[in-house]
Structure 1
Amino acid sequence: MTVYTNPLIVQRADPYIYKHTDGYYYFTASVPAYNLIEIRRAKTLEGLAHAAPRTIWRKHESGPMSQLIWAPEIHYIDGKWFIYFAAAETTALDKNGMFQHRMFCIECDNADPMRSEDDWFEHGQVKTGMDSFSLDATCFEANNKLYYVWAQKDPDIKGNSNLYIAEMENPWTLKTKPVMLSKPEFDWETIGFWVNEGPAVIHRNGRFFLTYSASATDEHYAMGMLSIPDDQDLLDASNWTKSKKPVFQSDMATHQYGPGHNSFTVGEDGKTDILVYHCRDYTEIKGDPLYDPNRHTKVQPFTWNEDGTPNFGKPVPYNYD
């Protein structure tokens, strides 16, 4: 099994890697200044570490897309490129003590998404019918339908964010009302903050697996998982099964703290499943963990259990200084 350099890319949180049909891996993530969206690409995962990033979008001077650009994801849908991200119009907290992010979508219809900033145009906010803190959108296809999964605050539910799903009319418009799939409820999901966020979806062994991250973004940050047979209604929350324990968490022995906000890709062989996530190697964070830049992008292969569920193992130790 391939051993990758870890961390693969330093100071890149909320990493997303997509392997396209052109043979390239495309990478995007939150940059420490939270002020722009960049893409890099390479023929190998290892090559992403040395690939030059290209800025394809910059935050506005004012307005809803002017502050705290978080967690971009790049998707290729019906022959066009899309990036989902979250942004706010202020760094101030609202009356509930929360940031004021909403979700947005930009599109590129050029075959090369890295050619120019001018090739990207804005669709604006992806509206969910709830005007509240929302972020970390992803999408996936099932049965020729496009689904959107994201994290959002419900003022009537304790905590920062829950996980929701909806079918999409197109890549920037929801077709159905949001269905809540998960909320912070277990002890490990409610340390520091009550959080379910950063969803990622993988389809294997007749099931969809939806991983997510929970608790504060320090050493308590960990990954949970929901699953559903792929022949059942994805918009019926009762069809989903939620793991009661985390499926990926800090490893104190090797100083890997707060692994999470993951995505999935596939190895160079086209077969090996790869877990992509960010992680820190220390726990003493000065000030707000949000502004500590040292959440690094890591990648590692994972396997599957006999019952068809993923076995993520433990965060691999750093092997690069």
Structure 2
Amino acid sequence: MDVNRRYINPVVEQRADPWVYKHNDGYYYFTASVPEYDRIEVRRSTTIQGLKDAVPAVAWRKYEAGPLSANIWAPEIHYIDGKWYIYFAAARTTETQDGLFDHRMYVLENESENPLEGTWVEKGQVRTRWESFALDATTFQHNGDLYYVWAQKDPDIPGNSNLYISKMSNPWTLTGEQVMITTPEYDWEIIGFKVNEGPAVLKRNGRIFITFSASATDFNYCMGLLAAAENADLLDANSWIKSAQPVFGTNEETGQYGPGHNSFTVSEDGQDDVLIYHARNYKEIVGDPLYDPNRHTRAQVFGWNEDGTPNFDVPVKDGVVAWE
């Protein structure tokens, strides 16, 4: 195997909710939640392993007060129509705990060729049908349309968050229907919290796959899978079929706990699909898992089942070559 397709985990320590995007300039661009939840960083490298030592540039910092002042979570970097965009969630500093988790979704734009340079401009909040807890937005283009997929709390549905899809009229504005495509229902989706979050899109084999994460952010955290035919109406909830079982989860033998909130990229030679995700290497956590900083970014090549669905296998052990 080409040395550039061997990944030794963790790739980047103390970076949760990792997003890796390989651009046409040959660089992998990386962003993730930082332990302080106070800023958004971007770094780049010509190799996935090289992201470990790449120097990050601070794209944006939280405000001291107001709606963008706390818990800056899960940034993603996208390249759309010649400009760079970062999608992220932010809460507001208040005297109550509820305010710290009252997230909304926001967008930054950068016109520079290299997003580590230039100015990131705030494009504002992405408005949905409710003013409620919302986070973990991602975008993808299909058949000439730009789609937005995100997690949000419907005030009329018990639980913490469901996944929704909508078209966009531009990279910061939704248009038309907003459709729920999954709500926590299986046992593995409702441990600790009723959560569907962290969607990531993968287009292969005539289908559009959306992975997502479920349950509390401790060792119960795991990944599920949605699939729709590429020629289906993606705004029809019936087009999306959900796996009855998680497709990626804790593995005691390899010492990986709570893997999830993933993204997808390809190997340096373009031959393999690569799963980027976070996980801890221990099970017991003192205090709130969200304030345990050791969800590290990891990478591993994955394959495909005979039925055309992705086969993520199990999270590999730290310190060994992932897929020799």
Give the C-alpha shift of residue 156 in structure 1. Answer: 1.1
1:94 aligns with 2:102: no
Instruction: Return the alpha-carbon distance in structure 1 between the equivalents of residues 89 and 43 of structure 2.
Output: 19
The amino acid of 2:97's aligned partner reads: L
Of 102, 111, 128, the residue aligned with 1:109 is 111
1:15-35 deviations in whole A, cap 9, x for unaligned? 000000100000000000000
Of 85, 88, 113, the residue aligned with 1:82 is 85
Instruction: Return the alpha-carbon distance in structure 2 between the equivalents of residues 229 and 26 of structure 1.
Output: 29
Residue in structure 2 matched with residue 151 of structure 1 by the alignment: 151
Asked if the contact 1:8/1:49 (under 8 Å) is kept, the reply is yes
Residue in structure 1 matched with residue 121 of structure 2 by the alignment: 121
What TM-score, normalized by structure 1, do the two folds share? 0.97
The amino acid of 1:179's aligned partner reads: V
Asked if the contact 1:93/1:100 (under 8 Å) is kept, the reply is no
Compute the RMSD of aligned alpha carbons: 1.1
What TM-score, normalized by structure 2, do the two folds share? 0.96
Give the C-alpha shift of residue 62 in structure 1. Answer: 1.3
Asked if the contact 1:90/1:100 (under 8 Å) is kept, the reply is no
- Correspondence 1:1-321 to 2 at 5 A: 1=1, 2-90=5-93, 92-94=96-98, 99-116=101-118, 119-319=119-319
Give the C-alpha shift of residue 109 in structure 1. Answer: 0.7
The amino acid of 2:284's aligned partner reads: E
Give the C-alpha shift of residue 188 in structure 1. Answer: 0.4
Give the C-alpha shift of residue 3 in structure 1. Answer: 2.4
Instruction: Return the alpha-carbon distance in structure 2 between the equivalents of residues 208 and 202 of structure 1.
Output: 6
How many correspondences in the alignment? Answer: 316
Instruction: Return the alpha-carbon distance in structure 2 between the equivalents of residues 93 and 165 of structure 1.
Output: 29
- Which sections of structure 1, spanning at least 5 residues, go unmatched? none
Instruction: Return the alpha-carbon distance in structure 1 between the equivalents of residues 92 and 178 of structure 2.
Output: 24
1:165-222 deviations in whole A, cap 9, x for unaligned? 0000000000123100000000000001100000000000000000000000000000
Instruction: Return the alpha-carbon distance in structure 1 between the equivalents of residues 306 and 274 of structure 2.
Output: 18
1:35-62 deviations in whole A, cap 9, x for unaligned? 0000000001111111011111111121
The amino acid of 1:13's aligned partner reads: A
Find the residue that maps to 2:8 and give its secondary structure.
coil
Asked if the contact 2:303/2:312 (under 8 Å) is kept, the reply is yes
Asked if the contact 2:224/2:248 (under 8 Å) is kept, the reply is yes
Instruction: Return the alpha-carbon distance in structure 2 between the equivalents of residues 316 and 108 of structure 1.
Output: 36
Find the residue that maps to 1:47 and give its secondary structure.
helix
Find the residue that maps to 1:70 and give its secondary structure.
strand
Find the residue that maps to 1:252 and give its secondary structure.
coil
Instruction: Return the alpha-carbon distance in structure 2 between the equivalents of residues 52 and 206 of structure 1.
Output: 38
1:289-320 deviations in whole A, cap 9, x for unaligned? 00000000000000011111000000010017
Give the C-alpha shift of residue 112 in structure 1. Answer: 1.4
Asked if the contact 1:248/1:259 (under 8 Å) is kept, the reply is yes
The amino acid of 1:255's aligned partner reads: G
Instruction: Return the alpha-carbon distance in structure 1 between the equivalents of residues 165 and 192 of structure 2.
Output: 25
Asked if the contact 1:128/1:177 (under 8 Å) is kept, the reply is no
Asked if the contact 1:218/1:258 (under 8 Å) is kept, the reply is yes
Instruction: Return the alpha-carbon distance in structure 1 between the equivalents of residues 115 and 7 of structure 2.
Output: 26
Q: Identity percentage over the alignment?
A: 63
Give the C-alpha shift of residue 155 in structure 1. Answer: 1.4
The amino acid of 1:62's aligned partner reads: A
- Which sections of structure 2, spanning at least 5 residues, go unmatched? none
Instruction: Return the alpha-carbon distance in structure 2 between the equivalents of residues 3 and 20 of structure 1.
Output: 20
Find the residue that maps to 1:224 and give its secondary structure.
strand
Give the C-alpha shift of residue 121 in structure 1. Answer: 0.5
Find the residue that maps to 2:98 and give its secondary structure.
coil
Give the C-alpha shift of residue 94 in structure 1. Answer: 3.0
Asked if the contact 2:84/2:115 (under 8 Å) is kept, the reply is yes
Asked if the contact 2:177/2:235 (under 8 Å) is kept, the reply is no
Asked if the contact 2:218/2:258 (under 8 Å) is kept, the reply is yes
